[in-house]
């Protein structure tokens, strides 16, 4: 027995030594592994961004412009994004997204180890890069802080960031950050902006099939684009619906019904084209005051004076008026042909086609083919025939005036979902128009048209074009006379007259080359007689007339030459329209304004604009002038407007050689000015007076602006007893070669 005992002792000692060595080895290995892992994590986390930044993070968002009823009329953005709260995303969208992207979102701590292991195994098999398996939190970390490259290094950083995000934020906060940040195609970021872009509705109103389609986009927005690849988008949407069904989030009946629905998009039109010149004026102002970054990324809310309905009416009136002018002067041709360049009929694109067209709009189209009696044109995804009847006004055969590759101007009569359209042939010879409408009580600009086509010319003729005012300047002359004691029924001699100037005699004439003899001031203004206006200005002194024009807000440089009195003065349509609003405002000038309020993305008011009010003339003078300008409509050069049966007043204006046609007029509550002409100041053609070219546009607009509304009433005419204010006579030299106006 002692011998046996002696044999076992060394064996047990040896075993104990081996166990000890194994344990020590395992401890060393574990320590080394822990150290290596810690070192590796330290290396990968060294450059990680500070998660604390997320507490103050706000994604770049759209600055939106609203009209006077809170409707969006424009926006500025580097990224199309609308920041929304968790409650703004409906349960159906949240469940669709979680079902397809991260089923365990509400249970994991930022990382789904089982998904990572499965993805890693697949990557090893395919020898590809690490991809997939990202939770919503990991995707958020990547989108906010990391590069999009697919590598092991980036995946580790993504996981570390996800854990930190989960420790600091709640699940609803994480979901909201993700939903506002993710890219969803076509320049759209976030599900709220995507819902508005693809379906023209807020996210809270999404249906199951719509929510599923949006939830399928994060995987690959371009590949599954419902615009570019509708068949792929449909399959992806149905995959999301099936995933929701498997997760028990919807019933089989709901799934079947939604899968059977087609994808029907209602793409949101860019609102900027409605009032592009107005929006551009605001952009310049905001950038000068707040800086470009704040305007394009800061999510400002800009509340403007514009009325979207009146703007549509203004756009239509100007385009219809220009089309009528073009037709009066016949076909001129001179069409651009794309086949003279390296462009083909198949790949040609025109800027007019960037936005979905609307019925009654005007745009440029491409002639695809021409045959006797008809032609086929294309614009965007639409094609349309043009028949001889559609071009009858040209009095020419289509095959004589059109050929394949020509760019023609057309008016859209109808559009069909299948891409068929009906158009009429129009012409764009270069004639331009401008319109400004101002609310009298507030000075707010309600509509602004700065030209025929913003895509072709950004120049704003409503605010930047200084054009000779013609006879529309005469009311300032008569205002000075009335304010200094004259009465409407005072008489003046309309007869040949010669005015002496420093460079010789100035002999003006009337538009009709006739003279009426002794007439009242009221009739002289209503019939736009030149000689009486010049005599009044000569008696008052042209400097006095100019001083009165400045009271009305005319800031353009007016040189003290006598022909200024009959319109040889250059002003902008905005100045002239704002000036005329003094008359219905009882002599008070209210500076025109675009903006009523600007707030930041949190609703804090950055600025609030209130009317800038100044006395320009006496209420008595304003009321007398209003009655005299009513005579222009009732019995004068603007008599065509008398058929409208509203209280209206205004003045026509036509410059020498018919280069500028004006009508500026007002109701008790709204003042509108219209100008028509060419940028290069060439003649519009014989007889293209303010009454013939501009007044019809004004009437078309005002009919819409006043329809169904209380038009108000002008203030009653005051007692016409002599004005106690004495007249001051100052007779300066007249210009030797100023342009005569009518």
Which residue among 95, 101, 158, 688 is the active-site one?
Answer: 101
Position 656 scores a pLDDT of 92
Indicate whether 3 pLDDT > 70: no
Where residue 725 falls among pLDDT bands split at 50, 70, 90? very low
Indicate whether 70 pLDDT > 90: yes
Among 346, 360, 461, 452, which Cα is nearest to 404's? Answer: 346
Helix (H, G, I), strand (E, B) or coil at 669: coil
Cα dist from 672 to 438, 452, 701, whole Å: 6, 18, 9
Position 354 scores a pLDDT of 79
- Rounded mean pLDDT, 54-67: 77
What is the rounded CA–CA span in Å between residue 591 and residue 357? 36
Position 5 scores a pLDDT of 40
Position 158 scores a pLDDT of 76
Lowest mean pLDDT among 29-33, 683-687, 688-692: 29-33
Percent of the chain with pLDDT over 70: 84
Indicate whether 686 pLDDT > 90: yes
What is the rounded CA–CA span in Å between residue 379 and residue 419? 10
Position 738 scores a pLDDT of 35
- What does the radius of gyration of the chain's CA atoms come to, in whole angstroms? 37
Position 34 scores a pLDDT of 52
Do 364 and 408 contact (CB within 8 A), yes or no? yes
Q: What angle do CA 87, 89, 91 make, to 5 degrees?
A: 95
- Rounded mean pLDDT, 417-436: 95
Where residue 117 falls among pLDDT bands split at 50, 70, 90? low
Percent of the chain with pLDDT over 90: 69
Among 450, 446, 485, 440, which Cα is nearest to 621's? Answer: 485
Lowest mean pLDDT among 153-167, 499-513, 592-606: 153-167
Tally: H helices and E strands in the chain: 21, 25
Token pair belonging to 561 = 């030459």
- Does pTM surpass 0.75? yes
What is the rounded CA–CA span in Å between residue 154 and residue 142? 8
Lowest mean pLDDT among 202-216, 369-383, 489-503: 489-503
- Rounded mean pLDDT, 111-132: 55
- Rounded mean pLDDT, 320-340: 94
Position 630 scores a pLDDT of 98
- Rounded mean pLDDT, 178-186: 91
Indicate whether 575 pLDDT > 70: yes
- 726 CA to centre of own chain: 50
Where residue 125 falls among pLDDT bands split at 50, 70, 90? low
Do 554 and 575 contact (CB within 8 A), yes or no? yes
What is the rounded CA–CA span in Å between residue 630 and residue 580? 13
What is the rounded CA–CA span in Å between residue 302 and residue 279? 11
The values of phi and psi at residue 330, to 5°, are 75, 170
What is the rounded CA–CA span in Å between residue 628 and residue 665? 12
Cα dist from 550 to 115, 482, 558, 626, 738, whole Å: 75, 17, 9, 19, 20
Indicate whether 2 pLDDT > 50: no
Query: Higher confidence at residue 590 or residue 115?
Result: 590
Token pair belonging to 219 = 């995987």
Position 52 scores a pLDDT of 60
Position 590 scores a pLDDT of 97
- Rounded mean pLDDT, 31-38: 48
Indicate whether 229 pLDDT > 80: yes
DSSP string, 84-120: --GGGS-HHHHHHHHHHH-TTTTTSSS--HHHHHHHH
What is the rounded CA–CA span in Å between residue 19 and residue 213? 61
- Rounded mean pLDDT, 542-562: 95
Task: Work out the mean pLDDT of the chain and round it to a whole number.
Answer: 87
What is the rounded CA–CA span in Å between residue 93 and residue 252? 18
Cα dist from 366 to 320, 398, 404, 500, 523, whole Å: 21, 14, 8, 58, 52
Position 40 scores a pLDDT of 41
Among 237, 239, 307, 228, which Cα is nearest to 267's? Answer: 228
pLDDT digits (tens, 9 = 90+) for 328-337: 999 998 899 9
Indicate whether 118 pLDDT > 80: no
Position 546 scores a pLDDT of 97
What is the rounded CA–CA span in Å between residue 280 and residue 65? 11
Among 54, 57, 64, which Cα is nearest to 603's? Answer: 64
Among 180, 164, 219, 227, which Cα is nearest to 199's? Answer: 227
DSSP string, 126-145: HT--------HHHHHHHHHH
Helix (H, G, I), strand (E, B) or coil at 678: coil
- Give exposure, 482-521, as e/b (b: 16+ Cβ within 10 Å): bbbebebeeebebeebebebeeeebebebbeeeebeebbb
pLDDT digits (tens, 9 = 90+) for 613-659: 999 999 999 999 999 999 999 999 999 999 999 999 999 999 999 99
Position 739 scores a pLDDT of 38
- Rounded mean pLDDT, 676-682: 95
Position 144 scores a pLDDT of 73
- Rounded mean pLDDT, 697-721: 92
Q: In what side-by-side order are the strands of the sheet with 670-677? A: 445-449, 432-439, 670-677, 660-666, 649-654
- Name the one residue in this structure whose structure tokens are 């349960």: 91
Q: In what side-by-side order are the strands of the sheet with 382-387? A: 382-387, 374-379, 362-371, 407-415, 421-426
Query: Among the ranges 177-186, 342-351, 535-544, which has the highest mean pLDDT value?
Result: 535-544
Where residue 10 falls among pLDDT bands split at 50, 70, 90? low
**What DSSP designation does 426 have?**
E
Backbone φ/ψ region at 81: left (φ over 0), alpha (ψ -120 to 50), beta = beta
**Helix residue ranges per DSSP H, 136-190:** 136-145, 152-168, 171-181
Lowest mean pLDDT among 36-40, 387-391, 554-558, 736-740: 736-740
Position 53 scores a pLDDT of 63
Lowest mean pLDDT among 13-22, 89-98, 133-142: 13-22
Position 482 scores a pLDDT of 97
What is the rounded CA–CA span in Å between residue 298 and residue 272? 18
- Rounded mean pLDDT, 436-454: 97
Position 127 scores a pLDDT of 52
What is the rounded CA–CA span in Å between residue 662 and residue 632? 14
Among 203, 198, 179, which Cα is nearest to 190's? Answer: 179
Position 186 scores a pLDDT of 85
Position 406 scores a pLDDT of 96
What is the rounded CA–CA span in Å between residue 688 and residue 170? 70
**What DSSP designation does 692 have?**
I
Position 45 scores a pLDDT of 46
The values of phi and psi at residue 497, to 5°, are -145, 150
Which residue among 471, 472, 581, 667 is the active-site one?
Answer: 471
Q: What residues pair up with 437 in beta bridges, in sequence order?
A: 447, 672
Position 724 scores a pLDDT of 45
Query: Among the ranges 9-18, 55-64, 303-312, which has the highest mean pLDDT value?
Result: 303-312
In terms of Cβ atoms closer than 10 Å to its own Cβ (0-12, 13-18, 19+), residue 396 is middle
- Give exposure, 674-697, as e/b (b: 16+ Cβ within 10 Å): bbbbeeeeeebeeebbbbbbbbbb
Where residue 114 falls among pLDDT bands split at 50, 70, 90? low
Do 673 and 577 contact (CB within 8 A), yes or no? yes
Position 340 scores a pLDDT of 87
- Rounded mean pLDDT, 503-519: 91
pLDDT digits (tens, 9 = 90+) for 157-173: 778 888 888 888 999 99
**What DSSP designation does 264 have?**
-
Position 564 scores a pLDDT of 95
The values of phi and psi at residue 266, to 5°, are -135, 80
Q: What angle do CA 449, 465, 663 make, to 5 degrees?
A: 60
Helix (H, G, I), strand (E, B) or coil at 701: helix
Q: 471 catalytic, yes or no?
A: yes
Do 662 and 469 contact (CB within 8 A), yes or no? yes
Do 433 and 451 contact (CB within 8 A), yes or no? yes
């Amino acid at each position: 027995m002692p011998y046996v005992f002696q044999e076992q002792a060394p064996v047990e000692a040896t075993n104990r030594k081996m166990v000890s060595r194994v344990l020590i080895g395992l401890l060393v290995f574990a320590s080394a592994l822990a150290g290596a892992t810690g070192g590796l994590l330290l290396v990968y986390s060294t450059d990680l961004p500070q998660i604390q930044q997320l507490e103050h993070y706000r994604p770049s968002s759209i600055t939106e412009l609203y009209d006077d009823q809170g409707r969006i009329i424009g926006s500025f953005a580097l990224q199309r994004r609308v920041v929304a709260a968790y409650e703004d995303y409906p349960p159906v969208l949240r469940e669709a997204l979680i079902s397809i992207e991260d089923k365990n979102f509400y249970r994991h701590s930022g990382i789904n180890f089982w998904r990572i292991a499965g993805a890693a195994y697949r990557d090893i098999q395919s020898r590809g890069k690490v991809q997939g398996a990202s939770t919503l939190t990991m995707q958020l970390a990547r989108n906010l802080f990391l590069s999009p490259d697919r590598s092991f290094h980036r995946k580790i950083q993504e996981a570390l960031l996800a854990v930190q995000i989960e420790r600091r934020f709640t699940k609803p906060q994480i979901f909201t950050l993700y939903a506002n940040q993710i890219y969803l195609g076509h320049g759209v970021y976030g599900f709220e902006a995507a819902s508005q872009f693809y379906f023209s509705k807020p996210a809270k109103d999404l249906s199951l099939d719509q929510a599923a389609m949006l939830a399928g986009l994060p995987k690959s927005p371009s590949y599954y684009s419902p615009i570019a690849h509708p068949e792929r988008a449909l399959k992806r949407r149905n995959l999301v619906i099936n995933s929701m069904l498997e997760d028990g989030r919807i019933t089989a009946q709901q799934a079947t019904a939604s899968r059977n629905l087609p994808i029907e998009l209602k793409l949101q039109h860019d609102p900027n084209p409605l009032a592009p010149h107005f929006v551009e004026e605001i952009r310049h102002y905001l950038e000068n005051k707040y800086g470009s970054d704040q305007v394009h990324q800061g999510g400002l809310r800009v509340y403007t004076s514009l009325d979207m309905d009146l703007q549509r009416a203004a756009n239509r009136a100007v385009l219809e008026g220009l089309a009528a002018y073009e037709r009066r002067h016949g076909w001129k041709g001179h069409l651009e042909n794309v086949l003279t360049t390296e462009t083909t009929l198949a790949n040609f694109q025109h800027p007019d086609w960037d936005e979905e067209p609307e019925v009654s709009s005007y745009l440029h189209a491409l002639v695809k083919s021409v045959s006797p009696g008809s032609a086929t044109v294309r614009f965007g995804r639409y094609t349309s025939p043009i028949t001889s009847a559609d071009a009858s006004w040209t009095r020419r055969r289509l095959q004589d005036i059109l050929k394949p590759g020509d760019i023609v101007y057309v008016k859209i009569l109808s559009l069909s979902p299948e891409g068929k359209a009906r158009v009429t042939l129009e012409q764009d010879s270069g004639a331009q128009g401008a319109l400004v409408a101002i609310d009298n009580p507030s000075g707010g600009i309600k509509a602004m048209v700065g030209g025929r086509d913003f895509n072709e010319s950004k120049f704003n003729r409503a605010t930047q074009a200084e054009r000779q005012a013609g006879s529309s300047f005469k009311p300032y002359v008569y205002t000075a006379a009335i304010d200094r004691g004259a009465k409407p029924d005072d008489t003046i001699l309309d007869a040949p007259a010669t005015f002496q100037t420093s460079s010789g005699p100035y002999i003006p004439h009337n538009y009709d080359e006739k003279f009426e003899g002794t007439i009242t001031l009221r009739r002289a203004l209503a019939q736009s007689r030149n000689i009486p206006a010049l005599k009044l200005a000569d008696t008052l002194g042209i400097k006095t007339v100019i001083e009165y024009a400045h009271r009305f807000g005319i800031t353009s440089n007016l040189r003290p030459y006598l022909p200024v009195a009959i319109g040889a003065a250059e002003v902008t349509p905005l100045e002239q329209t704002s000036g005329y609003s003094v008359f219905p405002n009882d002599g008070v000038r209210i500076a025109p304004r675009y903006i009523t309020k600007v707030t930041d993305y949190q609703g804090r008011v950055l600025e609030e604009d209130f009317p800038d009010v100044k006395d320009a003339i006496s209420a008595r003078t304003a009321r007398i002038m209003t009655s005299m300008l009513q005579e222009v409509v009732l019995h004068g050069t603007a008599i065509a407007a008398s058929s409208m049966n509203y209280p209206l007043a205004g003045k026509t204006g036509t410059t020498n050689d018919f280069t500028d046609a004006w009508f500026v007029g007002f109701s008790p509550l709204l003042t509108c000015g219209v100008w028509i002409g060419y940028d290069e100041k060439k003649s519009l053609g014989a007889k293209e007076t303010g009454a013939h070219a501009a007044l019809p546009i004004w009437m078309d607009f005002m009919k819409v602006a006043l329809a169904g509304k209380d038009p108000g009433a002008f203030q009653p005419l005051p007692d016409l007893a002599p004005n106690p204010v004495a007249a001051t006579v100052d007779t300066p030299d007249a210009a030797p070669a100023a342009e005569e106006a009518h």
